[in-house]
Amino acid sequence: DTAVSQTPKYLVTQMGNDKSIKCEQNLGHDTMYWYKQDSKKFLKIMFSYNNKELIINETVPNRFSPKSPDKAHLNLHINSLELGDSAVYFCGAGRYNSPLHFGNGTRLTVT
């Protein structure tokens, strides 16, 4: 079983559309994350949730809205997609003083 799984793996859409990326973890960890890797390969944290509560929000535009229905899921909804949103988005899960586990990413392309 994959520890952290994301869907879809690839997402191609047009500017102005709304899309969601789903993430599920089967590790039983309390904390989940979204990271963004841009075209220059920089990985940057976007959000962190602990037990469905938002803990970290790194000045991400309001068009990005994470939703955590339970502690095993952290979905990312993006409204009014822009060209600059094109990137690879990684979901992660972890707990205190333990390694983070990442999914294999969702490559979002906005045309």
Chain residues that interact with other proteins, rule: CB under 8 A: 4, 30-31, 33, 41-45, 48, 50-51, 55-56, 90, 92, 94-97, 99-105
Report how far apart, in Å, the C-alpha atoms of 12 and of each of 8, 27, 109 are.
Answer: 10, 29, 5
Q: Which two tokens stand for residue 42?
A: 């920089």
Output the smallest distance, CB 15 to other proteins, in A.
25
Nearer to other proteins, 45 or 72 (CB): 45
Nearer to other proteins, 7 or 104 (CB): 104
Output the smallest distance, CB 57 to other proteins, in A.
11
Output the smallest distance, CB 35 to other proteins, in A.
8
| Residue 35 · residue 43 · CB < 8 Å | yes
Nearer to other proteins, 10 or 20 (CB): 10
73-78 and 4-7 strand pairing = unpaired
Distance CA 68, CA 71 (A): 7
